[in-house]
Structure 1
Amino acid sequence: MDIKKAEDTILIEQIGRGHEAALSELYDRYGRLVFSIAYHMVHNHQTAEEITLDVFTRVWRKAATYNSRKAKVTTWLTSLTRNRAIDILRREQVRPEKGSIGWGELPTEPVSQQGSPEVKASLSWQQEQVRQALAALPETQRESLALAYFRGMSHSEIAAHLEIPLGTIKGRIRAGMQTLKGLLNES
């Protein structure tokens, strides 16, 4: 099996069986995404790198428990990243500023300065696809997702911050994630 061409769920299965090459490939595909989410939540390059390492360490340990019927691999990675960043923010008793976030603020420096030009180009392409998909969302969904995933706010905190019912926030986030999924699957 060519690990470079394997689907994400196959990579997770291989990681669950202890195949380091599968973990390396998953990192090559999504390390940048994990770092970007972490960085936007903690606003610290070193801490974001630590979170990225923690997330992929957790993937290594928990791959056998991953259920592809519950979530896509990218959703699982995003959730692991967000939860780890929130843990760190709570531990440090620091909450990010609750202002608006610009999607153009995604960091452009690579997670690692090493890597082939092909890997760097792929990461750059992935980042641009995410940026375009986020920009295509309706403002209400984009704002709710930004507050949840990049600012680390709970659904209740978002509802209070925006002075909108909790159910509306949950609906916006769910709809935004579905729209993102569709947009990213198209690209």
Structure 2
Amino acid sequence: MKPNRTEWQKRCTFNGFCKKVLKNEAIDAFRESRTRRKHEVVFSELTPQEEGRLYAYDHYFEEQEGFQVAGKWITPKLRAEALRALPEEKRQAVSLYYFFGMNNVEITGLMKIPRSTVQYRRTSSFELLKRYLEERAGE
């Protein structure tokens, strides 16, 4: 089947339109790229002062003093170290329960372990945290 003359003209017109749109988009992309390159700076060419403005240093642990319990000084840094000292599976159970507000059933579904295991990991973690803090508090 041969297309009739008007269909052929429509195809040619549409093809011409598509080519013009693609050409104009390519020109716009090139111009935008050229404009962006004028304003970009390579990191290796930054001065130390300019580099310093690109990030912020969090002094959270340095500024907070902590608190005292049973004559022992507990700092936020020490608490973070104690959590990091826990085995991964225990740290995960404690974090999900206390920091993410999940209950044992939700943790069981997420970690795919029995509920008694979740409870055991949480309670045994407190013993480990307690020992860690008692040994290192006040240092």
Q: Give the TM-score, by structure 2 length.
A: 0.47
Structure showing greater radius of gyration is 2
Instruction: Say which structure, 1 or 2, has more relative contact order (CA 8 Å, 6+ apart).
Output: 1
Bigger fraction of residues in strand: 2
